Amino acid sequence: MVGGLLAVILVFYAMRDHIKMERIAFPTRPILVYLVPVTIGMLCFTVITNVDTFLARNFFSYYDASLYSAASMLGKISLWLPAAVSLVMFSKVSEAHSQKKRTIGIMRRSIMYVLMLGGITALGFFLFPELTLDLLYGAQYVPAAPVLRIMGVAMFFLCLAQLFLFYGLATDHYAYIIILSVFTVFQLLIMTMFHSDIVQFAMVILISAISICFISWAYMEVQLLRKDRGRGDEDRDEGFTPPQL
Whole-angstrom Cα Rg for the chain: 25
Position 212 scores a pLDDT of: 96
Averaged pLDDT, 158-170: 94
- Residues 133/151, Cβ–Cβ less than 8 Å: no
- Contacts (Cβ under 8 Å, ≥6 apart) of 119: 156
- Residues 141/72, Cβ–Cβ less than 8 Å: no
Comparing 9-13, 49-53, 153-157, 199-203, which segment has the lowest mean pLDDT?
A: 9-13
- 236: confidence class by pLDDT, cuts 50, 70, 90: low
The pTM (predicted TM-score) of the whole model is 0.81
Sign of torsion over alpha carbons 102, 103, 106, 108: negative
Q: By C-alpha distance, which of 159, 93, 94, 86 is closest to 121?
A: 159
> Is 90 exceeded by the pLDDT of residue 68?
yes
Check residue 144 and report its DSSP letter. G
Average pLDDT, the chain: 85
Domain limits, the chain: 34-224
